[in-house]
Amino acid sequence: MNQGTHPEGPLAEVLDDVAGAVGAEVTLLGRLPGGVNGGATRVQLAGSAAAVLKAVPRAHPNHLDETLRAQRVVEHMRRRGYPTPAWLGVGATATHVWQLMDFVDAAAASELTPSLVEQLMEIIELQAGQASEPYDHWSYAWRVATAQDPASTGLDLNETREQSRLRRSMARLPGYSSEVSDLVERLRLVCADAPPPRDAPDMVHADLATPSNILVRDGAVVAVVDVGNAGSGTRAIDLTNLVWYTFRDPLLDDVRRRLWTRILDLVGLDGAAVLTAAHVLHMLEIPVRDGRHDVVPGVVKRGHRALDELNALRWSRA
C-alpha cells in the first residue's frame, strides 16, 4: 500500500467515514505487522499524528454495538493506568466496522519471554475489580467447561453470537476422533462438580497471550492492544491463557509455576479447572474448525499436560 493512495471500494468508504467522524483527511501510510484477526493499517490524520485503523467486515447486526462496548472498556481502563492506546473513534459503513486508535511507536512482540510474562502478570493486576461491561467471560467459561445448557443455568446470559457459535462447535468436538473425545471427557470430569461463578468483578482482556497484541520497546511492555473481545469476569482468565502459551518453551516453565500459583489464589482449584478446560476446548476448536489436522495432536498433548500439572497441584494442596 503506497503512501498517499486512496483505494476504491469498501476501504475507500471506510476512509471517508473515518474522515467524517474525526473531521480530518485520512491518508493511508501502510499495513502494520500482526493483526491476525482483522489487520491494522497506519494512517495519517491531517494536522495530527499518525494513528492506527482497523476495519473488519460486518459479521452480524450487533457488531458495531460490540465494538462500542470495547471502546468503553478502553476508556474505563485507561483512566486507571492500563497501558492500552486511546481510541479516537468508532464507526461503521454498510459493509465494515472500524476503530481508530493512537499509534504507539513500538514493536509487536515476536514471542513471550519470561520477562514479558512477568510484566504481563503485573499489568493483569490492574484489571482487578475493574469490570465495567456486562459481558461475562467467567460465566461463559463455566458453561463451556461443563457443557451446561444456558437455558438451564439460571444465569443472566449476555453471550455474543460468536460465543454461542463457539459453544455449539465445541459440543461437536468428541466426534472428531477418539483422542479428542478422551481429552474432552477428561476435561468434563475435572469440572463436573465446579459451581457456577458468583460474580465477575475484574476486567478481562481475553487475548493477552497473543504476542502480536503486546507492544514492546527496549524489552518493556509499553502497550497491550486488540481489546475488541474485552469484558468482565476474573483476571485469572488472562493468566490461564498465559499458562497455555508457556508450554511452548521450556524457558517459561518457572514463570508458569508462578502463574498457576496466582490462578489458584484467585479462583481455587475448581475455578482453575474450569478456566483450563474452557481454554483447552477453545484451542481444540480452532484447528478442528479450520481443518488443520496436523495441529490437533499437539493440542491434545498439551491439554493433557495442563491437566496433569493441575492435578499435581491439587494433590500438593490437599
More confident residue, 7 or 82: 82
More confident residue, 163 or 131: 131
> Mean pLDDT throughout 119-143?
96
In the predicted structure, residue 150 carries a pLDDT above the cut 60? no
> Mean pLDDT throughout 43-52?
88
Q: What does the pLDDT read at residue 273?
A: 97
Q: What does the pLDDT read at residue 247?
A: 96
Under 8 Å between Cβ of 6 and 30? no
In the predicted structure, residue 119 carries a pLDDT above the cut 60? yes
In the predicted structure, residue 161 carries a pLDDT above the cut 90? no
Q: What does the pLDDT read at residue 35?
A: 47
In the predicted structure, residue 104 carries a pLDDT above the cut 50? yes
Kindly state the cell numbers that stand for 173. 468436538
CA distance 306 to 297: 14
- Sole residue written with cell 495530527: 48
Tens of pLDDT, residue by residue over 68-96, are: 999 999 999 999 999 999 999 999 999 99
Q: What does the pLDDT read at residue 318?
A: 64
Query: Lowest-confidence range among 118-122, 144-148, 154-158, 280-284?
Result: 154-158
Q: In percent, how much of the chain has pLDDT > 70?
A: 92
> Mean pLDDT throughout 20-29?
89
CA distance 103 to 68: 19
Residue 307's pLDDT band, with cuts at 50, 70 and 90, is very high
**Residues 6+ positions from 3 with CB-CB distance below 8 Å:** 27, 28, 29, 30
All domains of the chain, ordered by start, with CATH?
10-103 (3.30.200.20), 108-317 (3.90.1200.10)
Task: State the DSSP string of the chain.
Answer: --TT----THHHHHHHHHHHHHTS-EEEEEEPS--TTT--EEEEETTS-EEEEEEEE--STTHHHHHHHHHHHHHHHHTTT---PPEEEEEE-SSEEEEEEE---SEEPSS--HHHHHHHHHHHHTTTT---SS-BHHHHHHHHHHT--HHHH-------HHHHHHHHHHHTGGGT-HHHHHHHHHHHHHTTTPPPPS---EEE-S-TT-GGGEEEETTEEEEE---TT-EEE-THHHHHHHHHHHTT-GGGHHHHHHHHHHHHHHHHHHHHHHHHHHHHHHHHHHHHHHT-TTTHHHHHHHHHHHHHHHHHHHHHH-
Q: What does the pLDDT read at residue 18?
A: 94
Residue 160's pLDDT band, with cuts at 50, 70 and 90, is confident
In the predicted structure, residue 2 carries a pLDDT above the cut 50? no
> Mean pLDDT throughout 211-219?
95
Tens of pLDDT, residue by residue over 228-251, are: 999 999 999 999 999 999 999 999
Q: What does the pLDDT read at residue 202?
A: 98
Mean pLDDT of the chain: 91
In the predicted structure, residue 134 carries a pLDDT above the cut 90? no
265-280 b/e with 16+ CB inside 10 Å = b?
ebbebbbbbbbbbbbb
Q: What does the pLDDT read at residue 38?
A: 53
Kindly state the cell numbers that stand for 98. 472500524
pTM, entire model = 0.92
